Amino acid sequence: MDYSKEYDQKLMSADQAAAVVQSGDWVDYGWCVNTPNAIDAALAKRTDELKNVNLRGGIIINPLAVFEREDAGEHFTWNSWHMAGYERRLISRGCCYYAPIRYSELPRYYRDGNTPKPNVVYAVVSPMDKQGFFSFGPSASHLGAACEMADKIIVEVNQNMPRCLGGTESGVHISQVDGIVESDNPAVPELGAGGPATAVDKKVAQLIVDQIPNGACLQLGIGGMPNAVGSLIAESDLKDLGVHTEMYVDAFVDIAKAGKITGACKSIDRFRQTYAFGAGTKKMYDYLDDNPELMSVSVDYTNDVRTISAIDNFISINNCVDIDLYGQISAESSGTKQISGAGGQLDFVLGAYLSKGGKSFICCSSTFTDKQGQMHSRIRPTLVDGSIVTDTRANTHYIVTEYGMVNVKGLSTWQKAEAIISIAHPDFRDELIKEAEKMKIWRRSNK
């Protein structure tokens, strides 16, 4: 069937697309790399006409035109499903707020009405294929559910957006679309890994890689340490690895091109690399484009604990901000300062442990240095006041720093404290022991 006539009928300018928004509307603004560009610029021109417009999305990489004005917060509010650096700056301006979620449940929030119904969905997509589908690119995530519940769907076509093949809800059909905007085809936003791996990253990575068997299935978070793990895996003798991850990152491309990924041992989605969204460099987008080995699906599939646990030898590797002596993990805030979001970390911590042979690793450097040059321990007696517990103490499995790896699953409070202190920076161990004694979680015999 030829969809060109319908395409032409639905073609509109960015200004026409932006004109559908009314004061008080909830407007979904894509997700990560498919946040609108031309439509965003057009909507910014309407700032003075609009009040109380709630924009929604997450992991914004490029600045948004609607927030360029100093008084933008009087007209637009950004509601983030997951924070990035730009959004943290918007928080400080008073026009951005985090929406706490369990990422695996996000599509259901839309369908069950737990989050406000989208009046409009805008999303950057790849060019329409011959079957009439626009791909969401590497951002299937929850966009299928958002479109399903939306009053209006307007897509912004970008020739540079990779066409990502999938299993479920990886695109939208022209019959569902109310408008089409052809952009000037900017480059897809790139998200680097944050610089080369440090000596600490490499030490932590080596400890984890030594625990990975042939045929394991990998989930990597974003950041220097997971990226360092990926680099070591690419250089290792490991073989027949699989991928089932929330976020697809550059490290997977390196591992795949090194011949380490086949997916032959996966019990589900065999031979497919499965992911909910991706952000990285052009190298990654080129690899994802029209690649049948990749499987772009909704996040309620990738992050479902039942799906994860069905894959043997599942290896989950994620970062954190702080750890306390109870084994509580904060991966999203430092005190009341929102840094990122819950995302799917807990989903993978739970799912990996339920997997036969599976392991969940939470990794971090033992210390960090503040702006004044003072070193602090990431391992604390208790989390900073106001910090969010991302992974509860009952669910934490392996914790890794450059000083070692400990399995805290099933330990009593004094055992956890002893194990966690053993991988703290040596300069802070005596202080942590004193605090553990005050907290009544340190045995005299441990001395």
Report strand pairing: 217-220 vs 242-248: parallel
Q: What is the DSSP secondary-structure string of 370-429?
A: -TTS-EEESEESSPPTT---SB-TTT--EEEETTEEEE-TT--HHHHHHHHHTTS-HHHH
C-alpha span between 272 and 270 (Å, rounded): 5
pLDDT digits (tens, 9 = 90+) for 78-112: 999 999 999 999 999 999 999 999 999 999 999 99
Q: Is the pLDDT of residue 147 over 90?
A: yes
Q: Is the pLDDT of residue 9 over 70?
A: yes
Q: Is the pLDDT of residue 177 over 70?
A: yes
pTM for this one?
0.95
In this prediction, residue 224 has a pLDDT band, given cuts at 50, 70 and 90, of: confident
* Vertex 48 angle, CA 45 and 52, to 5°: 105
pLDDT digits (tens, 9 = 90+) for 308-332: 999 999 999 999 999 999 999 999 8
C-alpha span between 358 and 354 (Å, rounded): 7
Q: Is the pLDDT of residue 197 over 90?
A: no
* Whether 246 is catalytic: yes
Catalytic residue among 246, 402, 418, 435: 246
C-alpha span between 334 and 322 (Å, rounded): 8
In the 8-state DSSP scheme, what is residue 95?
-
**Average pLDDT in the chain:** 95
Q: Is 125 helix (H, G, I), strand (E, B) or coil?
A: strand
pLDDT digits (tens, 9 = 90+) for 55-68: 999 999 999 999 99
Q: Is the pLDDT of residue 340 over 90?
A: no
